[in-house]
Amino acid sequence: MDSLMDLEKKNIAIVGGGIIGISSALYLIRRGCKITLIDKDLKGESASYGNASWLSSPSITPVLMPGMFAKIPKMLFSQDGPLFLRFPGVLKTIPFLLKYLSYAKVDKVEYISKHLVTLLSDSIGEHKKLAEGTKAIKWIEESPFLFIYKNKDDYIKDSFTWDLRKKHGFNLIEIEKNQLKNLLPGLSNEYQFAIKIDGQGYISNSQNYLDDLINGFKELGGEIIEDEVVDIVSKENKVEIKTKNSNLNADNVLISSGIYSESFSKKFGVEVPIQSERGYHLELFETNIRIKYPIMNGYLKLAITPRPTGIRFAGLVEFGSFNSKPNNKAYELLLRNAKSMFPGITYAHKQEWSGHRPSTVDSLPIIGPSKIDNKIFFAYGHHHIGLTAGPKTGEMIGKNILRDNNQYDLTPYSSDR
């Protein structure tokens, strides 16, 4: 059996340097392990760089909720609907989508929420711990969240979601019309009611945040290899990681390459289906209207986040486009939405981005060991909540790899569930 000393000195390779990979890398290197983080494109289009940047502890409900099935046709066929299906790619995803829909039931959603709470609670505190001692700490902003509605009746129609949040301890503050105007000057008069949740936060610049975390990792002696992993081969006492340009060996490998993880994880026994839910952002720079707080617009399925010189509008869901180019209609829709929410908004220039959320069929990520090879571990499949859940995931998988006595129960996230 390994002694505690040996465990702490483990030589671990992590495949994928998005928020999940870097959080795991920092946790493990601080515990004394030798870590090599391999990423094919650290400045690329990964979900971790382009997301809405919310540290969203209240996001404890999956995207598909009871009653949503009936709303899907409207979302698809309305010109301004937030859901896109791309043909022919979507045809291959039909078995996944049917199974995905089967989780939109009260008991299943309650189960998912319970196990998302473990990952999401106190995200601000978890990110501060993660960023401590690195320059990344300065990008963490504390702020309330505002969930806007056209009227209170529409809020009441969402009571299943809000009751779940209340049950898990969130304090909901009702904001009426006049107060909303003061909180969000420039917002369209269409929105007359909101729910405020205090004690939340966001990352003011996700690109710089991840870069600074990676620099912090390097300062602790972590090694970065910028190369594409093409295969992972398990040998008797080690694992060989084959990249395009070299081979390296490690005691353990953590697969945390977001939507790309499945190409490696399947051969190590993962049975949980995963699909890309492509999302989009539009960032407007030097806007005349500025917001102080992150805003959720449930009608448009958009998260709107303050940025240093403007506003980022992020969201939408697209299935079937993993191997296609981004959809220009999505960018046009985001701009229409920005203008409808903030009539009169002006900006100097804009940025468009799109990336892949790694979405599992049951809306819970895969965190834990391979059931057929004890040298291989997984941490991926965080769909809409990966930034929020990154640090806690890093700690959970880190403790598991190091076989700590005080482990988290990883059963709900297991690779063979």
Ligand X SMILES: Cc1cc2nc3c(=O)[nH]c(=O)nc-3n(C[C@H](O)[C@H](O)[C@H](O)COP(=O)(O)OP(=O)(O)OC[C@H]3O[C@@H](n4cnc5c(N)ncnc54)[C@H](O)[C@@H]3O)c2cc1C
CA 42 and chain centroid, separation:
17
Of 44 and 67, nearer to ligand X (C-beta) is: 44
Q: Minimum Å distance from CB 172 to ligand X?
A: 20
**What's the one-letter identity of residue 215?**
N
Is residue 20 a contact residue for ligand X (CB under 6 A)? yes
What tokens appear for 79 in the block?
């010109």
Can the peptide bond before residue 343 be classed as cis, meaning omega within 30 degrees of 0? no
What tokens appear for 369 in the block?
């060991």
Is residue 360 a contact residue for ligand X (CB under 6 A)? no
Q: Minimum Å distance from CB 344 to ligand X?
A: 25
Figure out which of the listed residues 222, 386, 398, 412 binds ligand X, where binding follows CB under 6 A: 386
- Side-chain-side CA neighbours of 5 within 13 Å: the count stands at 0
Of 258 and 306, nearer to ligand X (C-beta) is: 258
DSSP conformation letters of 279-295: EEEEEEES-SS--SS-E
Q: What kind and span of H or E run contains 241?
A: strand 239-243
Please return the burial class of 38, using the count of CB atoms within 10 Å of its CB with bins 0-12, 13-18 and 19+. Answer: buried
Q: Minimum Å distance from CB 228 to ligand X?
A: 4
- Side-chain-side CA neighbours of 280 within 13 Å: the count stands at 25
Q: Tell me the three state secondary structure of residue 274.
A: strand
CA 84 – CA 168 distance, rounded (Å)? 32
Of 62 and 279, nearer to ligand X (C-beta) is: 279
Is residue 52 a contact residue for ligand X (CB under 6 A)? yes
Q: Which of 27, 39, 298 is nearest to 148 (CA)?
A: 298
Is residue 41 a contact residue for ligand X (CB under 6 A)? yes
Is residue 388 a contact residue for ligand X (CB under 6 A)? yes
Q: What kind and span of H or E run contains 355?
A: strand 349-360
Figure out which of the listed residues 24, 51, 337, 414 binds ligand X, where binding follows CB under 6 A: 51
Which x/- pattern over 301-320 shows residues binding ligand X (rule: CB under 6 A)? --x----------xx-----
Q: Which residues, listed in sequence order, are joined to residue 233 by a DSSP beta bridge?
A: 240
Q: Minimum Å distance from CB 40 to ligand X?
A: 4
Give the 3-state secondary structure percentages of the chain, helix then strand then coil, rounded to 5.
35, 30, 35
Q: Quick one: which segment of 41-49, 65-73, 266-274, 323-331 binds ligand X (CB under 6 A)?
A: 41-49
Of 9 and 144, nearer to ligand X (C-beta) is: 144
Of 7 and 335, nearer to ligand X (C-beta) is: 335
Site for ligand X in 255-294 (CB under 6 A): 256-258, 260, 279-281
Q: Minimum Å distance from CB 178 to ligand X?
A: 29
Site for ligand X in 209-238 (CB under 6 A): 228-229
Q: Minimum Å distance from CB 259 to ligand X?
A: 6
Is residue 364 a contact residue for ligand X (CB under 6 A)? no
Q: Minimum Å distance from CB 256 to ligand X?
A: 6
Figure out which of the listed residues 4, 32, 43, 44 binds ligand X, where binding follows CB under 6 A: 44
CA 336 – CA 390 distance, rounded (Å)? 32
Backbone angles phi, psi at 396, to 5 degrees: -65, -45
CA 149 and chain centroid, separation:
24
Q: What kind and span of H or E run contains 223?
A: strand 223-226
Is residue 385 a contact residue for ligand X (CB under 6 A)? yes
Q: Quick one: which segment of 39-47, 94-102, 109-117, 334-342 binds ligand X (CB under 6 A)?
A: 39-47
- Side-chain-side CA neighbours of 343 within 13 Å: the count stands at 4
Q: Which residues, listed in sequence order, are joined to residue 48 by a DSSP beta bridge?
A: none
Figure out which of the listed residues 14, 15, 248, 282 binds ligand X, where binding follows CB under 6 A: 15
Is residue 355 a contact residue for ligand X (CB under 6 A)? yes
CA 134 – CA 132 distance, rounded (Å)? 6
Figure out which of the listed residues 38, 232, 396, 402 binds ligand X, where binding follows CB under 6 A: 38
Q: Minimum Å distance from CB 241 to ligand X?
A: 9
Given the rule CB under 6 A, which residues bind ligand X?
Answer: 15-21, 38-41, 44, 46-48, 51-54, 56, 228-229, 256-258, 260, 279-281, 303, 314-315, 355, 357-358, 380, 382-388
